[in-house]
Structure 1
């Protein structure tokens, strides 16, 4: 039976250097050649995941912003869906920035980003060579509702900040960790999770829920692994995720753990 392989990026498909190794790429391409489908499901915006989509030569829909954007890259697709939330929340967060101990606040949509402090601009992080005054987050520049908001704090503060955000804004938004080496929290519209995006994909690609094999490492992957017919947590994953997984990889993302498990699972 052909499978839909749903892949988180950071901490799962990507190694600690944020790269897809040759081994992982070859195993995924072998799975595709055998008739399986590979779908990326990431908290990253499209501009920061486009290169991996192209590296794997995918033609499937892609899930970005933890499910807030479901699209077929660079193409018109009838199943496309982008979910935003009220921009007033962004300005409420800016007013609470000091109390929340945030380094920066960045509001995003598919095409661009706005950051409240250009001193924190990093071309690698934002996948852009430069930022100008047009990228400065203000009421005048952010004229539409955002798809996602990224918040950076210090690693020791992320847990408490997340809980505070859920108390203040939990009736309107979801708060997730971004995964990977950066202490980033991502805010998306209420009810949006990777599983939400994955359901959109299978409804349009004619897969069944039981056909999904999903891999992840962070708590923002919990709903996706629960939704999948077979959910696999990485050896380097959180205890919370491992507790809901059907299986756990023997190796970490530093050891091609996802690819190693998939090769055995699909008998490639």
Structure 2
């Protein structure tokens, strides 16, 4: 069988709800690699929070982090790095404009540095994987470098209101997506960025055409990637909007959806 590029989202897709890779799916992905297919990760997480799974799968491919804002090869520095941060001016404008809405917190990340607007130990439990350097306090006073991403934590009722405002006022400069868990969070990256941008670059490097890209996802930040892939696969636990653009739907992240799909599709 011709070589395929297998693209894995992490949370809600490759990882079970317990944040582990099931032994079955891990074994199937190893078999896929033995059969000559390429396996890669495309995630909204920073690399420090995805390194564990990259190493567990023994991957040797480039990785897409921050939903396409950071594309790199952990094992090959000469491959190059694509880091596409948001300008601080845009971030400050966004922060000023959302002040009139109720939000819980603001978080900016510059690769492995985390800037927390308001101190929150529960929230930091999500961001402290990989031991980042953390600065707490007013973003406009502490952030002095263009961030890779900006996050707005808000309650479920206010998330759509804030997103509509971002679309109405800042659509020409940013992309924004929603996290469903563990907290309602709006993630903002520079305009034009998505997981699909990174997947396209990496597929080109491997000379693998779109029709042989199999991408798995479950959330809002997977939409462009699932639509771009020749075989876009939504998890059954995924959002309805993603299922509507996917070519296929597999069983959930807790039921080895990735492993079972690859066994059927690639004859593993």
Matched, 1:88 2:96: no
Q: How far apart in 2 are the matches of 1:166 and 1:30?
A: 43
Matched residue count: 266
Q: Equivalent residue for 2:36?
A: 35
Describe the shift of the 1:42–1:129 C-alpha distance in structure 2 as closer, same or farther (beyond 3 A). Answer: closer
Q: CA deviation at 1:129?
A: 5.0
The alpha-carbon deviation at position 127 of structure 1 amounts to 1.4
How much does 1:135 deviate?
4.7
d(CA) in 1 for partners of 2:216, 2:263: 13
Residues 146-179 of structure 1: CA deviation (Å, up to 9, x unaligned): 1111111113332222222222211100001235
Aligned to 2:125: 123
Q: CA–CA distance in 1 between the matches of 2:205 and 2:27?
A: 27
User: 2:60 — aligned with what?
Assistant: 59
The answer to whether the 8 Å contact 1:225/1:231 transfers is yes
Distance 1:174 1:128, change over 3 A: same
| Match runs of 1:172-251 below 5 Å | 172-249=173-250, 251=251
Deviation at 1:137, TM superposition (A): 4.9
Counterpart for residue 5 of structure 2: 4
Cα–Cα, structure 1 residues 137 and 198, in superposed 2: closer, same or farther, change >3 Å? farther
Where 1:237 maps in the other structure, the secondary structure is coil
Alignment root-mean-square deviation, CA? 2.0
The alpha carbon displacement at 1:205 in A equals 2.2
How far apart are the structure 2 equivalents of 1:156 and 1:16?
24
Write out the 4+ residue segments of structure 1 that deviate beyond 4 Å after TM superposition: 128-132
* Distance in 1 separating the partners of 2:79 and 2:200: 15
Cα gap change, 1:37 to 1:180, in 2 (>3 Å)? farther
**Stretch moving more, 55-64 or 196-205:** 196-205
Residue 84 of structure 2 corresponds to residue 78 of structure 1: no
Does the 8 Å contact 1:106/1:137 carry over to 2? no
Q: Which residue of 1 aligns with 2:267?
A: 267
Aligned in 2, Cα 1:219/1:266: closer, same or farther, shift over 3 Å? same
CA distance in 2, matches of 1:29, 1:106: 36
Tell me the SS of whatever aligns to 1:188. strand
Q: Deviations 1:208-244 (Å, cap 9, x if unpaired)?
A: 2222001111122121111111111111111111111
Contact 2:112/2:133, CA 8 A, preserved across alignment: no
Residue 42 of structure 1 aligns to a residue whose secondary structure is: coil
- The question of whether the paired residues in 2 share the 8 Å contact of 1:151 and 1:186 is answered with yes
Q: Is the 8 A contact 1:123 1:130 kept in 2?
A: no
Q: How many angstroms apart in 2 are the aligned matches of 1:42 and 1:70?
A: 10
The corresponding residue for 2:254 is 254
Determine the C-alpha separation between the residues in 2 that align with 1:42 and 1:148. Answer: 13
2:38 paired with 1:46? no
Q: Secondary structure at the match of 2:263?
A: helix
CA distance in 2, matches of 1:155, 1:67: 25
Q: Secondary structure at the match of 2:74?
A: coil
Displacement of 1:9 in angstroms is: 1.0
1:88 offset after TM fit, Å?
2.1
Is the Cα–Cα contact under 8 Å of residues 217 and 236 in structure 1 kept in the other structure? yes
TM-score normalised per structure 2: 0.91
Kept in 2, the 8 Å contact 1:79–1:204? The answer is no
